[in-house]
Structure 1
């Protein structure tokens, strides 16, 4: 896969996560339940993926190979459910920007560890100074967005139309 296409795919996935987090926060607020919001999120997602499988949008799938999958690889769905539920709980408290930065920062830290030792069947990618600096910058960004929360919000009426 071309590197540019891969980066655009990852970036669009990140954008979808932000929109999804905002949608889940609205579901939680309306339903008064983070678990119900997360469950609906997964029901819609499962329905969408099932439709893609049935329609062979990505070609025939090799589901007969499920028995060859390591037991721990099925944990991703459970971890995804925990992520969506926790994210749905905290986004209204932290705001979408801080929540997203905290998620990305924690992803980077654990990814660095997983890459270092090649856990979960991945090829090892040693820790480098650039990766450590990147995590430091993310930690700084989380700190700055939290410090910014303490400053008074501008009055919406005083913001010009070009600032919106």
Structure 2
């Protein structure tokens, strides 16, 4: 597939993320607990993931291979829960615009470091002057949009 298709999919994922986190925030307000609002999120996430895996051709033997993952990798579930809880707490307080600009800026900065170092299996992509200037512009833009 051409790069433009992948880039368009990534952009669409951003649209989905910008939609679903405020919905989760609202559900936390409706049920009176952001923690309780996580429960259906993870239940439907699990069911959807399992259904997509089966639709993609995975079988029970494939699911059993999940046991081969190092235990620390399951901490991503904890990170996911904290992300959801954080969004349900922060979006009503700082607004979705500031929240997402700060969220994306954090991702960009972290992604640059991960790529620079080649950590977590990322392809090595050193931070040069051009990229450093771009990261500075990201932070400047973040400040202009998010700080009151």
How far 1:80 sits from its partner (Å)? 1.2
Bigger relative contact order (CA 8 A; separation at least 6): 2
Cα RMSD, aligned residues only: 1.9
> Does the 8 Å CA contact 1:38/1:88 hold for their aligned counterparts?
no
Distance 1:26 1:47, change over 3 A: same
Distance 1:66 1:50, change over 3 A: closer
More helix by share: 2
> Does the 8 Å CA contact 1:22/1:96 hold for their aligned counterparts?
yes
Distance 1:112 1:65, change over 3 A: same
Look at both structures and tell me which one has the larger radius of gyration over its CA atoms: 1
Give 5+ residue unaligned stretches, structure 2: none
TM-score, structure 1 normalization: 0.78
Q: Deviation string for 1:68-96 (max 9, x for gaps)? A: 43333222222111111101110111111
> Does the 8 Å CA contact 2:99/2:146 hold for their aligned counterparts?
no
Q: Runs of 4+ in structure 1 displaced over 3 angstroms?
A: none
> Does the 8 Å CA contact 2:91/2:99 hold for their aligned counterparts?
yes
Matches within 5 A, 1:67-146: 67-146=67-146
Distance 1:146 1:124, change over 3 A: closer
133-142 vs 18-27, which deviates more?
Answer: 133-142
